[in-house]
Every structure is written in structure tokens, then in C-alpha cells.
């Protein structure tokens, strides 16, 4: 019943409550309990209004508590869903981090291999430079020796050869010239 429905038809009548078809009528309210709780001057009608008011307030409090409980259950459900989503997100991030770690380790191994290759190539380049400088020095030394031979040794030989050719005659001079041309 709603709060506006008014008192129960049997509530205000003393001793006329009908409970489960009992032949004898019992009073709706126990007088001694009422006296102890509300005092001796309270009538059945004021007690029933007070009880009705207490019941209505109790029902309202129960409804409020039920709504708060439903809200708490709903919030717990949403919190559970959010928690599940967070856990799933964290699991995905963990997998990404593990994948990145494996990739980083692979990349580090590749970098070490590349570093060794670069070091070896730098050593080979250094060795090639030294070989090139040695070859250049050998060629330069050969040119210096050749120039010295052409400028210093051969002219003195040809002078001494000319004197010998004069001593040998025409025939000897031709031989010496031929020999000089061959070299």
C-alpha cells in the first residue's frame, strides 16, 4: 500500500483484527508493549499512525539502501570491466615490450657484427694506404735512380765510349752507338 492509502480498515478497531481465520479476536496491538514503548496515554490509532510512519520511513530507507546497493553493484561491475580492460592493455604492452626487447637484442647483435666489419675494413684501408705509400716510394726511388743513371752515369759512359770508339776506329764507334741505343 502507498502512504496515501489511509489506515487499514481493521487498524483503528480494538480487538477486531482478523488473523488467518481465528475464531477469537486478538487485539491488534499488545497494550503492555505499547505502554512500555510509547507510554500509557497512547491510543491504538496514534500508535498505528506512528507505526505506519515508521514503516513508511523504513521502506523508504530500504528503497534508498537498495538503490545505493544497486549503484554500488553497478560501480563494482564497471570497475571490474575497467580493471579487465586495464589488465588486457597491460598484457598487450608487456607483449610489445618483450617484442621490442627481442628486436633490440637482435639489433645489438647486428650492430656488433657491423662494428667488427667496420673495424676490419678500417684496418684493411690502413694497410692499403701503407702498401700504396710503399709502392709510391718504390716508384719514386726507381725514377730517381733512373734519372741519376740517365743524367750522370750514361753521359760519362758515352764520353768514355766515344774515346774508346776513336781508338777502335769507325767500326768500334758504330758498335758502341748501337749498344747505347739498345739500352
CA dist 64 and 129 (Å) reads: 93
11 three-state secondary structure: coil
- The count of residues in the chain is 183
Buried b / exposed e along 96-127 (16+ C-beta atoms within 10 A): eeeeeeeeeeeeeeeeeeeeeeeeeeeeeeee
Q: Tens digits of per-residue pLDDT, 62-98?
A: 889 999 999 999 999 999 999 999 999 999 999 999 9
Q: What are phi and psi of 10, to 5 degrees?
A: -90, -10
CA dist 160 and 72 (Å) reads: 126
pLDDT band (50, 70, 90) for residue 57: confident
Q: Is the dihedral of CA 88, 90, 93, 94 positive or negative?
A: negative
Q: Tens digits of per-residue pLDDT, 161-177?
A: 555 555 555 555 566 66
Q: Which residue is associated with the grid cell 480494538?
A: 14
Lowest-confidence region among 20-29, 103-112, 158-167: 20-29
pLDDT of residue 171: 58
Q: Tens digits of per-residue pLDDT, 112-154?
A: 999 999 999 999 999 999 999 999 999 999 999 988 888 877 7
Q: Which residue has the higher pLDDT, 26 or 100?
A: 100
Cβ–Cβ under 8 Å, residues 25 and 13: no
Chain mean pLDDT for the chain? 77
CA dist 36 and 29 (Å) reads: 12
CA dist 179 and 85 (Å) reads: 102
Amino acid at each position: 500500500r502507498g502512504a496515501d492509502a489511509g489506515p487499514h480498515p481493521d487498524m483503528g478497531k480494538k480487538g477486531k483484527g482478523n488473523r488467518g481465520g481465528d475464531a477469537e479476536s486478538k487485539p491488534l496491538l499488545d497494550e503492555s508493549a505499547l505502554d512500555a514503548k510509547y507510554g500509557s496515554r497512547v491510543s491504538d490509532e496514534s500508535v498505528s499512525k506512528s507505526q505506519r510512519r515508521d514503516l513508511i520511513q523504513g521502506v523508504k530507507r530500504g528503497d534508498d539502501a537498495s538503490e545505493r546497493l544497486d549503484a554500488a553493484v553497478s560501480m563494482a561491475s564497471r570497475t571490474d570491466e575497467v580493471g579487465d580492460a586495464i589488465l588486457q592493455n597491460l598484457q598487450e604492452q608487456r607483449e610489445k615490450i618483450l617484442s621490442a626487447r627481442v628486436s633490440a637484442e637482435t639489433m645489438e647483435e647486428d650492430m656488433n657484427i657491423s662494428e667488427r666489419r667496420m673495424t676490419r675494413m678500417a684496418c684493411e684501408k690502413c694497410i692499403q694506404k701503407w702498401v700504396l705509400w710503399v709502392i709510391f716510394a718504390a716508384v719514386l726511388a726507381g725514377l730517381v735512380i733512373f734519372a741519376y743513371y740517365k743524367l750522370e752515369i750514361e753521359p760519362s759512359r758515352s764520353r768514355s765510349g766515344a774515346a774508346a770508339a776513336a781508338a777502335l776506329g769507325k767500326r768500334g764507334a758504330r758498335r758502341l752507338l748501337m749498344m747505347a741505343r739498345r739500352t
